[in-house]
A and B are shown apart, each in its own frame.
Chain A
Amino acid sequence: MHYAIRVRDLAKQYRIGAIKQRTAGYVTLRDAIVERFRGRRSEAATELWALDGVSFDVKQGEVVGIIGRNGAGKSTLLKVLSRITEPTRGRAELYGRVASLLEVGTGFHPELTGRENIYLNGAILGMRKREIDRNFEAIVDFAEVEQFIDTPVKFYSSGMYVRLAFAVAAHLEPEILIVDEVLAVGDARFQKKCLNKMQDVGQQGRTVLFVSHSMQSILRMCQRAILLNQGKVVADGPAQQVVGVYLGKGAHSIAERVWPDRAGAPGKEVAHLRAVRVRDADGEISDTIDIRAPVTIEMEFMVTLGGYVLLPHVRLYNEDNVAVFTTLDLDPEWRRRPRPPGRYCARVTIPGNFLAEGSFYVEAALTTLDPPMKQFAERDAVAFQVIDSLEGDTARGDWAGNVAGVVRPILPWTTTYEPFD
């Protein structure tokens, strides 16, 4: 098996003092002279290892997602691998031509026309002229800017600008493609087109390193992911698992939360919460749910003071903090019936083909009915991702583009047809 990228003990050090000066604008000659005369005040500057001994191998044709919090070292890693900045220590070997899309449209000049910018940008990204000639039609076609190709790009809408920029980059034909958050730009439909284009890239045997904050994109694009934290590799493996580790902020999964002691548990004198879990169709605790499959939210609580009618309920929030729905426990067995002390486990199943794609955060709550007394309402108790694998049998049908809305049910459609006479 061929390796495309081999990274060994890669490290990059920044001096925090230097970074502070940079955020203040820039270093002036005066600063440098003053510093020298004051006798090397720079020793006060502390060292920051943005990358600290990172090692991994990427095989040819692999699509690898790089994830981590802001400041974890993702961007520094990409910068070092795309040779924008030099490492302080370590070594990386890249087998094949590398193209990095750290920001689309770099090098676009507003005064130049679309046609001129394609050539300029292509050259900056490392394309040969004949390569650009060969791909010119395809680039213009992909960007959907045929009519404006001889217009200066300063007259382009931001959407057109971004489309053209990505189109150039997408036709680079490198063996190794390094991508940082490209998909954060452009409209949803175009984002999808870019995603598909990148998947094609992966299937053509090219290697892709992909940094994104969108776990959905990572899960859809990458078989493998690498999680960075404070400049070190914390997890490296199948994307599903690594994303799970990342979302779980550590070892425990975000799909389960347990409060073993009453002391730390949310609750009042009547009842307190003990555990909340997300289970998939097989009953396994899981934070990744197929859009077609049902998902079960499980809520375990202790009743310590009997005699009240209780109202357990669950509310779902999506990524935009929109309350998707609230569902109240209508189980006839306990409806209108005062509960004796003990341990209860309430389950609610949300059917498949109902929630939209994306992340959902579960609020687990419980109230007494009469008089109403809130016992607990735990926001973000657990969370899960709904994933659409785009196999054609979901609510989106054959449409690969954006589907707006907080829910995505499959509904019956009928059509009547009358031909013209």
Chain B
Amino acid sequence: MATLEPPSTSIAGAAAPPPSDVALAPTIIEPRKGWWQFNWRDLWVYRELLFFLVWRDVKVRYKQTLLGASWAIIQPVLQLVVFTIIFGRLAGVNTHGIPYPLFNLAGLLPWQFFANTVGQAANSLVGSANIVRKVYFPRLAIPTASVLAGVVDFGLSFSILVALMVWYQWPPSPAILLLPIFLLLAMMTALGVGYWLSAINARYRDVRHATPFLVQLWLFATPVVYPSNLIEGYWQLLYALNPMVGVVEGFRWALIGTQPPSLLLLVSVAMAITIFGTGLLYFQSVERKLADVI
């Protein structure tokens, strides 16, 4: 592949700088052909950048705000109160004996993680335009950092659920050990959607107006405020195509011991993988032209 001369063995080589561990092989710059040429090596080389971007996102988000990190708690609490009044009291959604706040929050936590990170990720590339135009690094790090930073918020808001479970004296089910798997599923979905939206948004700037609307519609297609058994028959299959259905079902099962998710969970998982995979593909196709269009 490399077309350079054989490595120098001359004694005069002392003047050369010690090769850094990053750059043993030459960097080849060529037009990329084909639809799948992913630069895994660079992703690895720049892994620390991903860490610093996450760290920046977390730090900056709470730095200039009055209440700091408590926003991660206030926001879901307020939403919980509203949902409890409207759906728990006024609409009287049947939760099969589970206190509505507990029922709602177990779904609200992963949902908020998803909605917030997708919103952040969608605007992340455009928001970093000044860096993208000036410095090379794997662009994938930008939306990925947005999603990973959301995990910190998720951890903070999780404490509300713990408090609520103590208040209602509601012990978690043994399935709680599976919670990380469902969090992973939520992350994968958020990453996939984030890759799609950030790339589309970089190309067509008006997409950002559609994002909040999309997220809001998505909320009602997910069993956050109502139990999923309201959906019956063949509709369930269609419903399971929304990977967040599997995530929310899984969270409820793991945290408060509702019915375990049916085999339709596999449909959700397959969809999450599909969204993630296609998102990655679309992102890298836009990435090549990114500096020219952003």
Contacts and interface: CB of A to CB of B under 8 A. Distances in A.
Interface of A: 2-3, 6, 14, 18, 22, 25-32, 60-61, 79-98, 100, 102-103, 106-107, 109, 111-112, 116, 119-120, 123-126, 128-129, 173, 175, 204-206
Given A28-B206, A93-B2, A123-B52, A98 B131 contact: no
A106 B200 CA distance: 24
B271 to A, nearest CB: 24
B48 A123 contact: yes
B203 A27 contact: yes
B137 interface: yes
A44 to B, nearest CB: 19
A47 B20 CA distance: 40
B28 interface: yes
A330 B31 CA distance: 66
Contacts of A90: 30
A168 to B, nearest CB: 12
Given A26-B205, A88-B31, 16 more contacts: A29-B207, A32-B204, A92-B28, A93-B28, A98-B27, A106-B131, A111-B60, A112-B56, A112-B63, A120-B53, A124-B52, A125-B135, A126-B22, A126-B46, A175-B20, A205-B17
Contacts of A119: 52
B5 to A, nearest CB: 8
Contact of A95 (B26, B31, B46, B60): B26
Main secondary structure of the interface of A (DSSP, over half): loop
Among B60, B64, B289, B292, chain A packs the most CB atoms within 10 A around the CB of B292
B78 interface: no
Interface string B23-43: 100111111100000000000
B278 interface: no
A90 B30 CA distance: 6
A103 B133 CA distance: 10
Q: For the complex of A and B, list the 10 residue pairs with the smallest distance between their C-beta atoms, beginning with the closest.
A: A29-B204, A83-B136, A123-B52, A92-B29, A97-B23, A26-B205, A28-B206, A106-B134, A94-B27, A85-B291
B29 A175 contact: no
A102 B15 contact: no
5 contacts: A28-B206, A94-B29, A96-B19, A112-B59, A175-B17
B26 A106 contact: no
Given A22-B293, A28-B206, A84-B135, A94 B26 contact: yes
A61 B16 CA distance: 8
Given A87-B29, A94-B27, A61 B135 contact: no
Given A27-B203, A111-B60, A124 B131 contact: yes
Contacts of A123: 48-49, 51-53
Contacts of B2: 93
Contacts of B5: 2
A165 to B, nearest CB: 12
Contacts of A29: 200, 204, 206-207
B30 A205 contact: no
A107 to B, nearest CB: 5
Contacts of A81: 29
Contact of B130 (A85, A86, A106, A111): A106
A126 B26 CA distance: 16
Contact of B23 (A83, A91, A103, A175): A175
Interface in B127-150: 130-137
Contacts of B200: 29
B123 to A, nearest CB: 13
Given A83-B27, A103-B134, A204 B17 contact: yes
A124 B60 contact: no
Interface in B261-293: 288-289, 291-293
Given A86-B32, A175-B23, A2 B136 contact: no
A124 B63 CA distance: 21
Contacts of A25: 205
B60 A91 contact: no
Given A93-B4, A97-B22, A175-B20, A61 B15 contact: yes
A97 B15 contact: no
B26 A93 contact: yes
A87 B32 CA distance: 9
Among B45, B133, B134, chain A packs the most CB atoms within 10 A around the CB of B134
A95 B4 contact: yes
Contacts of B292: 14, 18, 85
B15 to A, nearest CB: 5
Nearest to B290: A85
Contacts of A102: 134-135
B137 to A, nearest CB: 6
B169 interface: no
Contacts of B17: 96, 173, 175, 204-206
Contacts of A98: 23, 27, 136
Among B16, B63, B205, chain A packs the most CB atoms within 10 A around the CB of B16
B49 A124 contact: yes
Nearest to B130: A106
A111 B49 contact: no
Nearest to B57: A109
Among A14, A27, A93, A98, chain B packs the most CB atoms within 10 A around the CB of A93
A205 B15 contact: yes
